[in-house]
Amino acid sequence: MPTGDDDMQWLHKDLLDVSQLSTREVASLFETARYFREINSRSVKKVPTLRGKSVVLFFAEPSTRTKTSFDVAGKRLSADTFSLSATGSSLKKGETLKDTALTLQAMSPDAIVIRHSSSGAAQFLAERLDCCVINAGDGRHAHPTQALLDAFTLSEAWGGFKGRTLLILGDVAHSRVARSNVILLDRLGVKVRLCGPRTLMPSGVETWPVGVHRDLDQAVRGVDAVMCLRLQLERQQAGLLPDLREYARLFGLGRRHLDRAAKGAFVMHPGPINRGVEIDSDLADSPESLILEQVAGGLAVRMALLFLFLSRKTNE
C-alpha cells in the first residue's frame, strides 16, 4: 500500500481547502491516486483498505457527480458510506447546522464529507467535530477535491506543471472551483489567467496571483489549457449579465479560440456543462477535452484522500 513519501505522515484532521496542503503533500496524494486509478481498471474494483470505516456524505446542496464520486470512492475501498441530503434532512425542518453535525457525530463516523451552500460551512463543522471533515464545496469559498482532481488531470495530461499556463474562463466570482484552483495551481507553478466580464470577477482579484483579461481572444493566446466554469442562470436575474446569448458570444469557448492557444492545449470543465453557453458543444466532445478524464481522475483522487485521511490515525 502506498503511503506517499517514505516516511511522510498525513497530519491533517480535515480537508477544508487546498491552501493547507504543501506541494510535497500534493505530490504524495497524486502518487496515491495513481495507485488507486489502477484499481479502477481492474475487473474486481474493490480493495479492503478501509473496511470497517464509515463515511457520511452530508450534501446539504444538490449534487450528483461529487456525491457519486465520493460514494463510489468509499465503496471501492470497502468503507461504508451513508448519505444525507438536504431534502428530507432535519436541516429542512429548521435544525441548525451545529445540531445536525453533532447528531451525525454521535453516530461516530470516521469522516463527514460536506457540501453546503454557505461559505465557511465546512470549517464551521470541522471546528466542532472530532471526526475528519472533508469539504466537498462550501458556498463560493472552496472546493478542494475538485481543484486536486483538476490538478491531477492536468499533471497527467501535461506530464508536469513547469512553464504551463491555464486560463480559467467565466464566472470566477461565484466559483469555489476557481478559488481553489487558483490557489493550488499557482502553488504548483502554473501561470493562471482569468477571463470574464467584470461583473463576474471577485472583489480584490487584483491581489490574486493571476492575470485578468476581459477579451477572450487575448486571454486564450498561448495557454496550455482552458478551464470553463459553469454559468448559473441566476446571474442574469441578479443583474450581472444581460442574457446568455451575449455571454456566449463574448465568453463562450469555441474552436476558433482554441486555435489561438498553444499547440495541443486542453479543454476542461468541472460539470455539469451548459452546452452552447460557456463552451461549444463540439468542443466538449473533442479530443482536446479532458472532461471525462476529470471525472475518472476525480474518483482516484477522492479514493486517495479518503485513504490518507482515514488511515491517518493508524499511521501515527
Confirm if 97 and 124 have CB atoms less than 8 A apart: yes
CB of 71 to another protein, least distance (A): 24
Confirm if 287 and 241 have CB atoms less than 8 A apart: no
CA distances from 304 to 6, 172, 273, 298 (A): 16, 28, 26, 10
CB of 93 to another protein, least distance (A): 15
Q: How many residues bind another protein (CB under 8 A)?
A: 25
Residue from 70, 124, 161, 251 in contact with another protein (CB under 8 A): 124
Task: Report the half-sphere exposure of 186 (CA within 13 A, side-chain side).
Answer: 16
Of 199-207, 209-217, 263-271, 295-303, which part binds another protein (CB under 8 A)? 199-207
Residue from 120, 222, 254, 276 in contact with another protein (CB under 8 A): 120
- Site membership for another protein, residue 119 (CB under 8 A): yes
- Site membership for another protein, residue 115 (CB under 8 A): no
Residue from 43, 108, 207, 237 in contact with another protein (CB under 8 A): 207
Q: Compare residues 124 and 247 and give the one whose CB is closer to another protein.
A: 124
Q: Compare residues 3 and 118 and give the one whose CB is closer to another protein.
A: 118
- Site membership for another protein, residue 141 (CB under 8 A): yes
- Site membership for another protein, residue 142 (CB under 8 A): yes
CB of 133 to another protein, least distance (A): 14
- Site membership for another protein, residue 232 (CB under 8 A): no
Binding mask 151-180 for another protein (x = CB under 8 A): ----------------------xx-x--x-
CB of 116 to another protein, least distance (A): 7
CB of 128 to another protein, least distance (A): 9
Task: Report the half-sphere exposure of 210 (CA within 13 A, side-chain side).
Answer: 26
With 0-12 / 13-18 / 19 or more C-beta atoms within 10 angstroms meaning exposed / middle / buried, residue 290 is: buried
CB of 6 to another protein, least distance (A): 34
Q: Which residues here bind another protein, judged by CB under 8 A? A: 96-98, 116, 118-121, 123-124, 138-142, 173-174, 176, 179, 202-205, 207-208
